[in-house]
């Protein structure tokens, strides 16, 4: 399976890792450690050296209760980081945003993929993404970040998330975004309870049948804390276990904070799958 990212074509037949780079003062996972541009650039380059295929740069936290950021401020946060990493590394760059102004500025700075937790539903987002030539990732989220975990409800979470992602992919196609530029994300932890997240992870093979690369982000999330009882900074082992299982179930892109370790876990899971395929051939 191929993913077209502007002037680059990525083979995601073998799963890859997307490194998380939050240039925010209030991220749940790193608490603003990379809010400074120089620190963010160096961390992004370090993740690229560790084996990340993508660096996902985000300038607005999506955790419940996070402060709103204006489009201009978000551009000021992400564009310099993207531009400087692009000038020093061939790594693919992603921008984590829902605002069309930020999408356009980030792609002009060098971004190859637009990663949108709101699935390009903001006014003008589809048009900006289509015009950019970048790949897009559309994610499912029930509600809005500020309130998404208050009382999420589903009748059949896998069927509902699958239908939503299919609808958003169809909207992308209708807007002129080619199928080869689209990937989908079930949005683990975004408007889902514990049991919803587990059902979606178990049902990844169903989401893979949509025909688009599936991105999964489970790194350090509260789901792992609920299982292990550990705080965010001590959830590496759980994150790696879920990353490997997601790959085994059909995920093509694993979004992670701990890149070197996740790259190893993904390689091992992919090798086991290749071995099982060869044995059955």
Active site residue 6: no
Q: Give percent above pLDDT 90 in the chain.
A: 85
Res 30 pLDDT > 60: no
What CATH number did the domain enclosing 133 receive? 3.20.20.20
Q: What is the pLDDT of residue 24?
A: 86
Res 31 pLDDT > 60: no
Q: What is the pLDDT of residue 8?
A: 97
Domain that holds residue 244: 2-280
Q: What is the pLDDT of residue 281?
A: 46
Confidence of residue 119 (pLDDT cuts 50, 70, 90): very high
pLDDT, tens digit, 9 for 90 and up, residues 243-260? 999 999 999 999 999 999
Active-site choice (84, 99, 118, 221): 221
Active-site choice (255, 267, 274, 279): 255
Res 177 pLDDT > 90: yes
Confidence of residue 170 (pLDDT cuts 50, 70, 90): very high
Res 183 pLDDT > 90: yes
Mean pLDDT of the chain: 93
Active site residue 267: no
How many domains, the chain? 1
pLDDT, tens digit, 9 for 90 and up, residues 225-245? 999 999 999 999 999 999 999
Confidence of residue 33 (pLDDT cuts 50, 70, 90): low
Confidence of residue 276 (pLDDT cuts 50, 70, 90): confident
- Which of 15-29, 209-223, 262-276 shows the lowest per-residue confidence on average (mean pLDDT)? 15-29
For residues 166 and 159, what is the distance between their CA atoms, to the nearest angstrom? 10
Q: What is the pLDDT of residue 279?
A: 57
pLDDT, tens digit, 9 for 90 and up, residues 72-96? 999 999 999 999 999 999 999 999 9
Instruction: Quote the pTM value.
Output: 0.93
């Amino acid at each position: 399976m191929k993913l077209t990212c502007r002037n680059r074509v990525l083979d995601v037949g073998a799963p890859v890792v997307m490194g998380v780079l939050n240039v925010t003062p209030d991220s749940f996972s790193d608490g603003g450690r990379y809010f400074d541009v120089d620190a963010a650039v160096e961390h992004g380059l370090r993740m690229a050296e560790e084996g990340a295929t993508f660096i996902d740069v985000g300038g607005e936290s999506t955790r419940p209760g996070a402060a709103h950021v204006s489009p201009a401020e978000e551009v000021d946060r992400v564009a310099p980081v993207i531009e400087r990493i692009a000038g020093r590394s061939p790594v693919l760059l992603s921008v984590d945003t829902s605002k069309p102004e930020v999408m356009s500025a980030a792609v002009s700075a060098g971004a190859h993929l637009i990663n949108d937790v709101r699935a390009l539903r903001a006014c003008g987002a589809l048009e900006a993404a289509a015009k950019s030539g970048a790949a897009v990732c559309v994610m499912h989220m029930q509600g809005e970040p500020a309130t998404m975990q208050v009382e999420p409800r589903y009748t059949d979470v896998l069927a509902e998330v699958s239908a939503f992602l299919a609808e958003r992919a169809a909207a992308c196609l209708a807007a002129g975004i080619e199928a080869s530029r689209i990937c989908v994300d079930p949005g683990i932890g975004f408007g889902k309870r514990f049991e919803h997240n587990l059902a979606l992870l178990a049902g990844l093979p169903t989401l893979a049948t949509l025909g688009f690369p599936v991105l999964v982000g489970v790194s350090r999330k509260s789901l792992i804390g609920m299982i292990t009882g550990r705080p965010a900074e001590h959830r590496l082992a759980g994150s790696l276990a879920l990353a490997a299982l997601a790959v085994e179930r059909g995920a093509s892109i694993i979004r992670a904070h701990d890149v070197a370790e996740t790259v190893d876990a993904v390689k091992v899971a992919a090798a086991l799958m290749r071995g099982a395929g060869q044995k059955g051939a």
